[in-house]
């Protein structure tokens, strides 16, 4: 019984073989798109780093969705980003955008944009988010990546983005 009189039954259905480590330290926060097609490649890219994932349509759309006609989640996302940096002693934030992102294609304000226009919008957005996070949380390193998806070969390539 819970303290509110609700009867609860727990039935174990899975037990992990990976040991639990009771630590509140993370190497990085990882903002990535929820697109399942490249989940395994993203995990490969991260390796064994201890990271807190923010997996959401468009990844950085959490910060910029409002200006493109999606829900405006910027304030809440910034709040939780700062909280995770503090609580888990995060030293790095990784931001990822990718080619042919459905969250960008579905944004009402971006309807009808060409692939080249969409690429340019994504680059402006990730630059904006990187600069905002660097200003708001100066104690962390913020890195930006563009993930290229080659349908013909199945290759996924992460490219670090530099801005001049």
pLDDT digits (tens, 9 = 90+) for 43-63: 999 988 888 999 999 999 999
Place of tokens 């990546």: 145
Total number of domains in the chain: 1
In a domain, 68, yes or no: yes
In a domain, 9, yes or no: no
| Cα distance between residue 68 and residue 142, in whole Å | 23
In a domain, 48, yes or no: yes
CA-CA-CA-CA torsion sign (119, 147, 69, 63):
negative
Nearest by Cα to 84 from 52, 48, 126? 52
Q: Which residues pair with 13 in a beta bridge?
A: none
Percent of the chain with pLDDT over 90: 75
State the pLDDT at residue 119: 96
pLDDT digits (tens, 9 = 90+) for 94-151: 999 999 999 999 999 999 999 999 999 999 999 999 999 999 999 999 999 999 988 8
Arithmetic mean of pLDDT over the chain: 93
Which residue range(s) make up the domain with 116?
Answer: 28-161
In a domain, 71, yes or no: yes
State the pLDDT at residue 71: 95
At residue 3, does pLDDT exceed 80?
Answer: no
State the pLDDT at residue 34: 93
At residue 1, does pLDDT exceed 80?
Answer: no
CATH number of the structural domain spanning residue 86: 3.40.1050.10
In a domain, 107, yes or no: yes
């Amino acid at each position: 019984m819970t303290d509110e009189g609700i009867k609860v039954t727990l039935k174990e259905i899975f037990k992990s073989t990976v040991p639990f480590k009771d630590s509140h330290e993370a190497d990085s926060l990882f903002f990535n798109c929820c697109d399942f097609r490249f989940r395994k490649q993203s995990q490969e890219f991260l390796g064994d780093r201890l990271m807190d994932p923010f997996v959401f349509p468009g990844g950085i759309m959490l910060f910029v969705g409002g200006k493109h006609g999606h829900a405006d989640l910027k304030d809440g996302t910034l709040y939780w980003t700062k909280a995770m940096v503090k609580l888990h002693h995060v030293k790095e934030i990784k931001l990822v955008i990718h080619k042919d992102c459905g969250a960008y294609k579905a944004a009402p304000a971006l309807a009808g944009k060409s692939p080249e226009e969409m690429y340019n919008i994504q680059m402006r957005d990730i630059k904006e988010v990187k600069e905002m996070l660097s200003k708001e949380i100066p104690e962390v390193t913020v890195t930006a990546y563009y993930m290229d998806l080659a349908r013909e070969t199945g290759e996924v390539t992460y490219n670090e983005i530099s801005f001049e």
